[in-house]
Structure 1
Amino acid sequence: MYHLVLRYRIIHWYLPSPCPSIPEHISEHIHNTLTPAHPSSSSLFAFTSAPSSLVHSARRESQLHTAPVQQAPSWRLSRYQRDSCDVNQPLHPQPCQLSTLSLARDNEEDNVDEYSRTIRRSLSGLPPQSSSVLEAPVHAIATPKPTLLFAIASDDVNEVRQVLESGEAGPNDQVGPQSALAFTLTNDKLSHKNEIVKALLAYGADPSALRNPNLNPSAQMSPEGSDGVSGSHSQPEETMPEGMDPATRYYVTRADSPHTRQTSQLIYRSFFRPLTRVRYDLIGQDWVLEQLFRVLSMHSQRLSVAPIVVLLCGPSGHGKSLLARKFGSLLDIPTHTVNMTTLRSTHDLWQSYSMSPYEEPSSDTLAQFLLNNEGERCVVVLDEIEKVEDPKALYSLLMPWELGRCSLEVGKRHVNLTKVIWLGTSNIGHNVVFEYHDSRPDPSKPITRDEYRDLMDLSRPHVSQCLGASLLSRVTTVLPFIPFTLEEKMAIAAEAVYSLTCNVANTLSPQDVEAIVMKALPSYVPSEGARSLHRAVSNQLVDMI
C-alpha cells in the first residue's frame, strides 16, 4: 500500500497542470506562449521546473504597457522571424521566447523592460513596411574584370587578344565616347599601335565606325564649321587614311573592302573560320586566300573525301612560309614542319623532326607525330618540297594523299590520316609568275580574279614536270603567289620600320615613317620580295643613327 501511494504521488507530480490553472489576468500573448500547440515530453519538463517564478514573471509582463505585437501563426516559427521595421535595432529575444531558466532569474526582468521600450520606439518612430519587401543584399567589392580599355592602354597586344578571345569584350565596343578602333588610332602614347589595330581588325572591328561621328567624335568641336553650321563634326586626322602610316592605312582599307567580307563568308560557319585573321599577318595574296578558303569550304561541307593537300608555290619572300606557319597556330592545332632539303630516302621522311622555331619544342618524329594525332586535325608542312635530293623519297606520300591512310613502317598497321592538312611550299614556277605579271596590259594595277585563275592553270604543268604527274594528281590545289602592288610594298616597309624600332616607334610620326618607306622602295628586288624591303629599311635606319 505504501508503494502504491508513493507511485501515485510521483506520477501526479510529473503530470502537467491543466491549462485553466494559468491565471486569467495574464496577457494574451503571454498566455499563448505558455500554452504549447503540441504537447510533448520536452514541454512537460519545461513548464513544471519552476512554477512559482513562471507566475511571478507572467504577472510582471501583464503590468507592462506595450504596443500590441502581432503573433506568428506558430509560436515555434516566431522564434526565427524578425519584423522588417527592426532592421536597424539590436536583435533581442522576444518576450514570447523566454525560457524557464531566464524566468527564474530576477535580474532578467530589467531586460524585459528595456526590450519593451525598444519595441515601442521602433513601432512609433519608423513608417510601417510590408513584410514582403526584400532587403537589399550586401555584397563584397569584387575585383573588376579586365576591359578592352585597360588592355589597349596597357600597350600589350597579347592582353588585347586575350580579352577579345575570352568574350569579355567585343572589337566594336565603345571605349568612352569612341569606338575601340578610334581610341587606339588617336592614342599617341602607344608604342605598339599598329599591332593593336591589326588585332582589333582581325577579331572583327568595323572600320566604318571611324566615319561615324557618334563613335569617332572630334577632339575639338568648332562653334561654327566651314559652312557656318554650328557644331559641325570633323573626323580626327589620325583616323583618316591621310593621317595613318602606310601599314595601318593598308590594313584598315583592306578590312573595309567588300571583297574581304565576301571571302570571309566562305568559311564563316566552318572549323576553319579563325583562318580569316591571317590577312592581318600576311600582306597581299588576296586571291590566294580566296582560293584556299574555297577549298576548305568544300572540305568542311564533306563535298570532298580526299585529304587536303595544298601546294604554295611562287617567288621567294612573298609569304608562303608565313601562311604555312600561321595555319596551325590560328586553328590551334599541332603542326610538324619538315625540312625537305635534308631528305635522302623515304625512311628519312617519317623519321624527320620538326625544324620550325615557331613551334613548341618536341622530340617526336613525323611518324610519332601522326600516331599521336591519329584521327585528329593537325598540320604537316613540307618546306621546300622540290629541293629533295631524291624524288623517290616523295613516293611514300602517294597513299596518304589519296586514301588518307598508310603504314608508317613495314609490317605495321595502317594509320588514319584523313584529317591531316598537308601544306607544301616551293619556288616552282616563279619565272612563270613574273612573266605572266609583266605581260598584262597594265602591270601596275592589281591582278583580277580571272587573271589569277589563268595563272593557276599555267603553273600546274611546271609543278607536274618537277614533282611528277602521279604526285601532282593527288594535290588538291596549287596556289601561286603573285608580286606585290605599290601599296603592299609600302605596308611591308612600314612594318619593317616598326619591328626594327620597337622601343621608339611612338616617337615617329606617320609622316616620318612614310618618309623612310619612300626612300627604301627603290631598293626593292622582285625575286627577293619582302626580304629586300627589310634590308633596305634597316640600311635607312642605320644612316639616320
Structure 2
Amino acid sequence: MDDENHVPERLTNSASLSEPSDRSVISPAVDSFTGGTSTIDLNNSTFPGSSDFDAVETDPSSSDKIAEWDFQLPRLRFAASTQNAANIDQGSSTFDPAAFARAVQDGANLLSLIGYLDRYSREKVSYQINDEIEGFPLMFYIVESNNERLLRHCVSKSGNPEAVHVPSQIPLLVFAIVNSHNVEGDKTLLVATLLSLGASPNVLPSAFYTPYLQDLPETGPENSANSEIEGARFNTPWCTEDVSQRLASALTLSQRYFIQKAANLRVPTAREVDLAQRRNAEGLLGISYFLIGQSLASHLLLRKLLSHILSPSKRPLVMVFAGPSGHGKTELARRLGHLLSLELEVVDCTAFSREIELFGPREPYSGAAQGSPLNNFLAKNAGKRCIVFLDEFEKTTTEIHKTLLLPFDNGEYQDRRHRSNINCSNTIWILATNAHDEVIQDYFESHQEALSDPTNQDEGVRLIKKLASEVKEDFLRTFGPPLTGRISAFIPFLPFSVGEQAVIVHKYLLELGESVEGPVNLSTGPKEKLLGNVRLRIRRDGSVCRILAESGYNIHLGARSLITAVDTVKSRLVDEYLEINEGFSEHPEKTECFVDVQADEIVVTMSASK
C-alpha cells in the first residue's frame, strides 16, 4: 500500500451520512502554490534533535494567555550551539518531530520534507508525528504551511487530521480556517483536503456554514443555544466571542460550501476503506470533497470504481460522462487523476474525423515512426493504470468508433509505430459528451428539488441511477449497439444550483484576486505587469456571488458563462485602478479593492495605498 493515500481510522467507524501541480517550496507566509520566501534543502542543512529547540515567542498555551492567542504559532529556531550540527543524512535514526516542524516553518523544500518522512517506516513516524512542539501538535505546523501534498503525506504517516490544541481546545480544522485569514492567497484547497482526510466538520457549530450562501455577521452567527459553558458560544468550549469573530471573518463562501458538503457526505465503510487500501486507491474515497456540485456524479463514479477494483476484469473500464458543457466533466477526470496519481491524456475529439488522425498512421505511411499523442500515451502506460479523456466524443465518426471496439472489449491495442500489441486493460476510458443534454435537462427540471437536496442523498442516488438508464437508452439510439455494449457506466452531470453557481463565481473572484495581487513590474517585454499590488476583498461574499451568478449563468455554457460575470468586476476594478492619480510604481505597498453589494447592485471601490 502507498502510505501517501492512507485513510485515517475515523473513516472506518461509520457508514451513516454526516472541492493540481506539485509545489517545491513551503512557506507559512506565502501560498505554497506560488512559491515561498526562502528555501531550505534538508539535504544541506542541520537537523538537530528536539532538545536543541528554542521558541522566539513565549508559549501561548499557558492558562493565563489562552484568551490572548492570535492563532499564530510560535516561531521556532535552532539554538545557537547547534548551528553546525550534522547534516540530516548523518542524523539520528529516529524521526525528529521538532526539527521537522522547524524545517517546515523555514520553508524547506517539499521533496526533501517528504523524503525525510519516507526515510523511516510508518510505524516509526507514527509514534511521534502527533507530538506537541512548544505546546502545539505538529499537525498545526503542517497546516500552517498551507501545502496540501505535505498534509496528505503526514496523514498517510498517521498524522491526526482531528488534532486539538489542548489548552484552548481549538481543533485543527478551526485553526486551518482562521489561519487562512492571516496569510495571503486562497486556502480553500487546504480546508477541503483536511475534510477529505478525516477532519470532522461537526467540530464547527452548523450556524457558521448552514446555509452556506448566507452572509455571516462580522461578530459571528447569533448564539441561539443557551450555553452552559461560561464564555463559550453554542455550548462549544473553544468558541469564545473572540474566536467566533475570527472564524466569521475568515470563513469564505467556498469554505462554508465545502464544510456543509462534507457534513452531508456519506462516510466510507470499513470494508470500502480496506478495499481502497489493498488496491492502492485510497484517494478515491476523497473525490467528492473537492468538486463544486456533481455530488451524485461523484457518488456513481466512486461506486463504479470500487466495484471495478473489487472484481478486476481484462476489459478496461469505459465510462460516459454526459452533461452540458462547463459542468465539471473534465474537472472530475483531472481530480480523479490527481488523487490517484495517474497519468491523464485529454483528447479534443473535434480535431479528428479519421482513425489515422487520432491514433496515427501505420507503415508505410508517412509519420508512422512518430506516432500520435494518444498512441504514444497508451504505449508509454502499457499495463499501467491511467486515464484517457475523450472530450466532445459526439464529434467522432463511425470509423473511430469501430477502431475503439477492440481496446474497449479486451484491453488490447496495436502500437501504430511498430505494430506491437499493447496491454491497455488498466486504462480508464472516459467519453465526455453533451449529446444527451436535452434528456438530462428535462429530467432535472422534473426532479430538481430532490436532486438538489444534499440532506437526502438516498433519494438523489435513486433518481440519478434512473437518469443514467435514460442516458444509456439515448446513447444507444445515437451511437448504436456495438459501442453502447462496451460501456461500463453512464454518469450524468446535472446543471448547477443557484448556490453552486455562486461558489463558482467566488472561485473565479479568488483567481482574479490572485492575478492582481502580484507586484507591478515595469520592465519592458513579456515580464511587464502594470496591474498589480492590489488586494481584492469580497464583503458579504454570499450576496455578491449570488447576484453575479444570477446575472450570468447559462445552463448551456455552465461555469464558462460565469467568467463573463466576473469580468464585469474586473472591468470596474481596472476603472478604479486607473483613477489613482499617480504613475505606476514597483513599490510593495498594496491598494485594497472592495467588492460589495448595495441595494442588490455590485459596488467596487478602491482605497488609498497601504
Percent identical among aligned pairs is 24
In structure 2, what is the equivalent of residue 430 of structure 1? Answer: 437
Structure 2 letter corresponding to 1:233: A
Equivalent position to 2:483, from 471, 480, 490: 471
Matches within 5 A, 1:252-271: 252-259=259-266, 261=268, 265=272, 268-269=276-277, 270-271=279-280
More helix by share: 1
Structure 1 segment 383-532 matched on structure 2, within 5 A: 383-388=391-396, 390-409=397-416, 412-440=419-447, 442=449, 445-446=452-453, 448-502=460-514, 511-523=539-551, 524-532=553-561
**Higher Cα radius of gyration:** 1
Distance 1:411 1:508, change over 3 A: closer
Aligned partners of 2:444 and 2:451 also within 8 Å: no
- 1:100-155 CA-to-partner distances (Å, cap 9, x unmatched) read xxxxxxxxxxxxxxxxxxxxxxxxxxxxxxxxxxxxxxxx998334343334334x
Structure with the higher fraction of residues in strand conformation: 2
| Equivalent pair of 2:392/2:434 in contact (CA under 8 Å) | yes
* Aligned match of 1:196: 190
One of 343, 346, 356 as aligned partner of 1:334: 343
Q: 1:182 and 2:211 equivalent?
A: no
Mapped to 1, the partners of 2:227 and 2:268 lie a distance apart of 39
**How many residues align structurally?**
384
What is aligned with 1:540? Answer: 569
1:9-24 pair list within 5 angstroms: none
Query: How far apart are 1:367 and its partner, in Å?
Result: 2.3
Partner amino acid, structure 2, of 1:210: L
The one-letter amino acid paired with 2:540 is D
Corresponding letter in the other structure for 2:259 = V
**1:246 maps to which of 237, 253, 257:** 253
Match of 2:359 in 1: 350
Structure 1 residue 527: Cα displacement: 1.5
Partner of 2:141: 150
- Counterpart-to-counterpart distance in 2, 1:406 and 1:527: 36
Deviates more, 1:508-517 or 1:478-487: 508-517
1:149 partner letter? F
Aligned to 1:287: 296
Over the aligned positions, Cα root-mean-square deviation in angstroms equals: 3.6
User: What is the TM-score of this pair, normalised by structure 2?
Assistant: 0.56
Aligned partners of 1:310 and 1:476 also within 8 Å: yes
- Cα 1:175–1:264 change in 2 (3 A) is farther
Residues 192 and 289, structure 2, Cα contact 8 Å, conserved in 1: yes
Compared with structure 1, are the counterparts of its residues 531 and 291 closer, same or farther at alpha carbon in structure 2 (3 Å cutoff)? same
**What are the Cα deviations for residues 523-542 of structure 1, in whole angstroms up to 9, with x where unaligned?**
22111111222321231343
Please give the residue correspondences for 1:5-404 in structure 2 after superposition, counting only pairs within 5 Å.
143-145=99-101, 146=104, 147-154=138-145, 156-158=146-148, 160-161=150-151, 164=154, 167=157, 169-175=159-165, 177=168, 178-187=170-179, 188-191=181-184, 192-211=186-205, 231-234=230-233, 235=239, 236-237=243-244, 244-259=251-266, 261=268, 265=272, 268-269=276-277, 270-302=279-311, 304-351=313-360, 365-388=373-396, 390-404=397-411
How many angstroms does 1:252 deviate by? 0.5
Structure 2 CA distance for aligned equivalents of residues 141 and 448 of structure 1: 45
Deviation of 1:201 (Å):
1.6
Distance (Å, rounded) in 2 between the aligned partners of 1:422 and 1:454: 23
C-alpha displacement at 1:493, in angstroms? 1.9
**Distance in 2 separating the partners of 1:365 and 1:166:** 34
The answer to which of 166-175 and 472-481 deviates more is 166-175
1:59 is matched with which residue? Answer: none
Q: Distance in 2 between matches of 1:245 and 1:264?
A: 35
Whether the 8 Å contact between 1:243 and 1:510 is mirrored in structure 2 is no
Matches of 2:416 and 2:165 in 1, distance apart? 58
State the match for 1:93 in structure 2.
Answer: none
- Residue 425 to residue 264, structure 1, CA distance change in 2 (3 Å): farther
Distance 1:527 1:162 in 2: 36
Residues 316, 258 of structure 1: alpha-carbon distance in 2 compared, 3 angstrom cutoff:
closer
Superposition deviation, residue 487 in structure 1 = 2.5
Aligned match of 2:115: none
Q: 1:239 to 1:202 in 2, by over 3 A?
A: farther
- Compared CA separation, residues 313 and 263, structure 1 to 2 (3 A): farther
Q: Give the Å deviation of 1:282.
A: 1.4
1:164-200 deviation line (CA, Å, top 9, x unaligned)? 3663733222356422211122233133232321221
Give the 3 Å change call, closer, same or farther, for CA 210–265 of structure 1 in structure 2.
farther
CA contact (8 A) 1:455 1:480 kept: yes
Deviations 1:477-534 (A, max 9, x none): 1111011223222222222222211266996677432232122022221111112223
* SS of residue in 2 equivalent to 1:380: strand
Q: How far apart, in 2, do the equivalents of 1:429 and 1:530 lie?
A: 18
Return the alpha-carbon distance in structure 2 between the equivalents of residues 395 and 197 of structure 1.
Answer: 45
